[in-house]
Amino acid sequence: MRIGVLTGGGDCPGLNAVIRAVVRKGAGVHGHEFVGYRDGWRGPLEDDTMPLGVPEVRGILPRGGTILGSSRTNPFAVDGGPERILANLREAGVDGLIAIGGEDTLGAASRLHGEHGVAVIGVPKTIDNDLAATDYTFGFDTAVNIAMEAIDRLHTTADSHHRVLIVEVMGRHAGWIAFHAGLSGGANVILIPERRFDVQQVCELVGRRFASRFAPIVVVAEGAEPVGGMPVPEAGPRDAFGHVRLGGVGHWLEGEIERRTGKEARATVLGHVQRGGTPTAFDRVLATRFGLHAVDAAEAGRWGSMTALRGTEIELVELTAATAELKTVPPRLYEEAEVFFG
C-alpha cells in the first residue's frame, strides 16, 4: 500500500512524532510505502511531494514543528479542489492519506471522504484541545507547560514591582490552555471565552490579591470577551477557513485595569512560543500512539475514521465526529478554580 501523509493547520509539538510512528510501523511492519505531501492540503492539491521513508524520520521525535510543513489551505475554497486532489492521488499511485490536523484540516478530510470518496484517516492535533471526539489532542500539554512556566516566572517579577501582570494565551474559542495554565500556575484571575467577564470584578480580584502583599497574575485566553463585548470591531484578516485572527484582549485589559485601579498593569502575549519547540513526554507518547493506530487503521482499510484518546485507550471514531462539536471548558470545572481567584 502507498500512503500519503500531510500535516495541516497551525503546527504543534508532536507532529513529527506522529509522522515517525506512521512511517516506522507502516514500513517496518506492514510493508507500506509513503509519500510526504508538503504544507497541508496544498500538497495534494498541487502535487507537491517529498520523499518519506525511514531515513527521513530518523531523529525527528523530539523536534517541534513538522518536517512536512503546514498551511491553512482549504481545498473546498479552491475551484475544483477535491477533483484535483483525487486526480493527483491517482496519478501518484497513492491508495490513501493520513491527514494530521485540527478542526479545519479534519473537516476538509471528512468532506473529501464523504463527498468525494478520498480514502483518508485523520489524526487529531491542536494546542487548543478543542476537538470533542478525543479526550486530549497532542500539542496541548506542551502549550500548557510553556504557559505555566511563563506564569511561574511572571509571579516573581510581578511581586518585585507590585504590578499586575496579564498573560494572554492562545486557544481560539476554547479556554483550555488558559484554564490549565492558570490553575497549574496559580493565577489569581483566569478569563476564558466560555464565560464573559466583568472588568470591574476582575479589578476587585486584583485589589484582593494586592491586599495579601503579593501581586496578581491575570491569565486571559485570546478569545475571552468582556460583558458587552470588546470595543474594537472584529475587522482583522481571515484565513481560508474564515477564522479571524484573535489577540489583543491582554493589552486592552492592561489599560482597563490601570485606569480603574491606579495600579501599573503590563501584558505579556505568549503567542506562537506556545506552539514551538520540543514536545513534552505526554505529547510524544500520545502522538506516537496516534501514529501507530492510524497506520494500523489504514492497513485495515478503516478509511473515514480518526484516532481518538478515550480514557487511556486509543480508539477509532468516525471522521465526521471529529469536527461535529467544539469541546469547551465546562462551567463546573471553571467554578472549581474560582476558589483560587483574588
Strand partners, 164: 265
Nearest distance, CB of residue 126 and ligand F6P, angstroms: 5
The only residue of 4, 8, 10, 107 in contact with ligand F6P, by rule CB under 6 A: 10
CB of 17 to ligand F6P, least distance (A): 18
Cα–Cα distance list, 237 to 153, 242, 246, 250 (Å): 33, 9, 10, 19
Burial-class residue 113 by CB neighbours within 10 Å (0-12, 13-18, 19+): buried
> How many CB atoms sit inside 10 A of residue 65's CB?
17
Q: Does 127 bind ligand F6P (CB under 6 A)?
A: yes
210 or 290, CB closer to ligand F6P?
Answer: 290
Active site residue 95: no
Question: CA separation (Å) from 208 to 165, 215, 253?
Answer: 15, 10, 17
Q: Which is nearer to ligand F6P, 128 or 194 (CB)?
A: 128
By CB under 6 A, is residue 144 in contact with ligand F6P?
no
- Burial class for 276, CB neighbours closer than 10 Å (0-12, 13-18, 19+): middle
Q: Which residue in the set 16, 49, 70, 126 belongs to the binding site for ligand F6P (CB under 6 A)?
A: 126
> Shortest gap between Cβ of 55 and ligand F6P (angstroms)?
30
Beta-bridge partner residues of 99: 6, 122
**Minimum distance from CB of 47 to ligand F6P (Å)?**
24
Q: Which is nearer to ligand F6P, 185 or 193 (CB)?
A: 193
Cα 95 to Cα 92: distance, rounded to the nearest angstrom: 9
Among 104, 128, 130, 283, the one annotated catalytic:
128
Considering the rule CB under 6 A, would residue 64 count as an interface residue with ligand F6P?
A: no
Nearer to ligand F6P, 128 or 141 (CB): 128
Count of CB atoms situated within 10 Å of the CB of 272: 11
Cell numbers 496541548: residue: 140
List 245, 255, 313, 340, residue binding ligand F6P (CB under 6 A): 245
Return the number of the residue (236 or 331) whose C-beta is nearest ligand F6P. Answer: 236
Is the CB of 205 or the CB of 240 nearer to ligand F6P?
Answer: 240
Q: Does 22 bind ligand F6P (CB under 6 A)?
A: no
Q: Are 216 and 158 a contacting pair, CB within 8 Å?
A: yes
DSSP string for residues in 27-90: IIII--EEEEESTTTHHHHHT-EEE-SHHHHTT-TT--S-TT------GGGSTTHHHHHHHHHH
Binding segment for ligand F6P (CB under 6 A), chosen from 45-53, 121-129, 190-198, 286-294, is: 121-129
Contacting residues for 208 by C-beta, under 8 A, at least 6 apart: 342
Window of 50-58, 122-130, 251-259, 276-284 that interacts with ligand F6P by CB under 6 A: 122-130
From residue 334, how far is each of 24, 196, 221, 303, 307 by CA, in Å? 41, 12, 13, 37, 28
Give the nearer residue to ligand F6P in terms of CB position, either 113 or 275.
275
Q: What residues numbered 150-179 form the site for ligand F6P, per CB under 6 A? A: 170-172
Establish if 69 lies at the interface with ligand F6P (CB under 6 A).
no
Strands 265-269 and 305-310: unpaired
Distance CA 270, CA 34 (A): 36
Q: Which residue is nearest to ligand F6P (CB)?
A: 170
Q: Does 108 bind ligand F6P (CB under 6 A)?
A: no
Q: Please say whether the beta carbons of 44 and 109 come within 8 A.
A: no
Residue 177 C-beta: closest distance to ligand F6P, Å: 7
State the residues that interact with ligand F6P by CB under 6 A: 10, 102, 126-128, 170-172, 222, 245-246, 275
Active site residues: 128
